[in-house]
Structure 1
Amino acid sequence: MRTIDAGICVRSMTIMASGDLDDLTEVVHPEAVNREAKDEPPACRGRGPAAFAATARWLRAAFADLSFDVHDTVADGDLIAVHCTMSGRQVGPFVAYDERGEVAQAFPSTGRTFAITHSHWFRMKDGQVVEHWANRDDLGLATQLGWVPPTPAYLWRMARAKRLARRNPAH
């Protein structure tokens, strides 16, 4: 395992969860792409530290006390894998977007906490993150936050949150 590269990947996650987003310029390559941004606001779909910072703002708007507890890291060449648990508390609506950048769904805040496993994959270039993608337990997140199975009252709140998000998109 290349400890230095794994440390940079873990640091990028820590910065996104709770750090100073300006620090992303030190660990995220100017051409970096987040392959997970397809369901995120359009500002997250670009390249470089600004796009990664947009993802962090999107996550932090929905989830307080966001953290990543890293269990394992593995490196092979320029590829780093990080197995972790993401946890936090939903304090704002979680808004998902379609391929056109339009609001696809909005999950209003439940105030509940969650802890779900992730596997993050990073490609490194010049000592910085140049590519990122992940596998997440989205069903576990939805279950822990009370999004599924939805009650009739929560379905109504979802419809209302979606209307509000469409009026005020995070572009």
Structure 2
Amino acid sequence: RCAIEKPETHVDRAKQYEKFVNDEIFSGFEYPMSLKDIQSFEKRSYNSKYKYPKMSINIYSYDEKFNIVPLQISEMYDAELEVDLLYVKQEDKSHYVLITDLNRLVSSQLSKHKERKFLCRRCLSHFYKSGDLTDHLEICKQHEVCKPIMPYPSQTTKFT
């Protein structure tokens, strides 16, 4: 809910969102939502009887080196609102955190260059021209979601 209508202050307080708890679009789910429920909610947002925008919801997590990795990426490509969430799990507790700027979150793990990057939400590849991203998306959408891992410059690859 915090991605749709952000409160001006105290965004971390549950009280800010109590007025939305009884909205029909949010009913019928256990909270925190499972990944499967998030897909169902996303599909529900495409139903015109609800007053909310059509949403695509992308879930990211992090690996052992704390690099951001795709966990569940939306297949809804005509959304009016793209929502990115970080899934945080510690022992037996889990939580979703709204990512307000995915580019900023992953920028340092992608490149040392400071200029603007155009980011593919599906595989986290980056481009310096929006047209290059558009071309990439046409190909990327045809494949399973994955994050390409390139070797470090100090590593060598041998072909035999």
TM-score w.r.t. the length of structure 1 is 0.26
Which of 1 and 2 has higher RCO (CA within 8 Å, sep 6+)? 1
Answer 1 or 2: which has greater helix percent: 1
